[in-house]
Amino acid sequence: MNRALIVAFLLAANAPVNAESEPIWLKIFGRPGLGSTEMCTMGLSAESIKKLEKQQERQRTLSYWCKQNRRAISPKLSQLFKDHPVSYTVSFEGKSDTGLLRPTAHFYEKAENAAMEILKKELPFTTPPTDLPYHRGVLIRFTSKGMTVALASRKF
């Protein structure tokens, strides 16, 4: 009986690390609390209120949202991603904040591990201004210039 246990342990220890595994689910967006979209206009001039409204309107666009979700990468990792860029497609079930990450290709293990560490630290991103990311998905790229979030070109 002990021999079977040892054999099972050795087989598990020798299993390939990069074997096909289940996809990774990560919380991608964080929903704002109630009332976070309200703006306080007390004591502001009409001009200031107009400026504030324009700013909020600009923040509701997808292009502005994508720019806001750009993150700098440390110089140490910048070189790693320069030589080995990593990208993931993210799909959502309904309007769940939890996204399913799928690598777009097989990546250099060190770069992929670094990307996963960044994703775990950087989350959550801001909630998108429209439902488009939930319908089409999101593309997350890690390059020497930083981590970028963009709308996927189509549903995958």
The whole-angstrom distance between residue 92's C-alpha and the CA centroid of its chain comes to 12
In angstroms, the CA 117 to CA 97 distance is 19
124 found inside a domain = yes
Q: Quick one: pLDDT at residue 31?
A: 64
Determine, yes or no, domain membership for 7. no
Lowest model confidence (mean pLDDT) among 11-15, 69-73, 82-86, 119-123: 11-15
Q: Residue 74 is part of which domain span?
A: 25-30+43-151
What lies within 8 Å, CB to CB, of 122 at 6+ separation is 71, 147
Residue 144 counted as domain residue: yes
| Domain count along the chain | 1
Q: Give yes or no for residue 133 having a pLDDT over 60.
A: yes
Q: How far apart are CA 112 and CA 80, in angstroms?
A: 10
pLDDT at 108: 92
